[in-house]
Amino acid sequence: MMPLTMVNAGEPNVICKVGGREETKKFLENLGFVTGGTVTVITQMDGNVIVSVKDSRVAIGKDMANKIMVG
């Protein structure tokens, strides 16, 4: 298991765990980051991560991306 910021762009990854405070978890779940779901990093720029999740492109900050564990 590793944080989303450590994966290579273009590789689909399964979300194992979403960490953080309760409101952070809810926010990420509403964006589509749910345990068992698939997420693909599209690009990383200046610490921000653009990912594809649930047929949508989402940009999240590095601190948020570090709370999403994939394996």
Query: Mean pLDDT in each 10-residue stretch from start to end of the chain (71 residues)?
Result: 95 97 95 97 93 95 96 93
- List the chain domain ranges: 2-70
Task: State the CB neighbour count (10 A cutoff) for residue 10.
Answer: 10
Residue 3: φ, ψ to 5°:
-70, 155
Residue 47's pLDDT is 83
Distance from C-alpha of 29 to C-alpha of 46, rounded to nearest angstrom = 24
Distance from C-alpha of 8 to C-alpha of 22, rounded to nearest angstrom = 28
User: Which CATH class, in words, describes the domain spanning 2-70?
Assistant: mainly beta
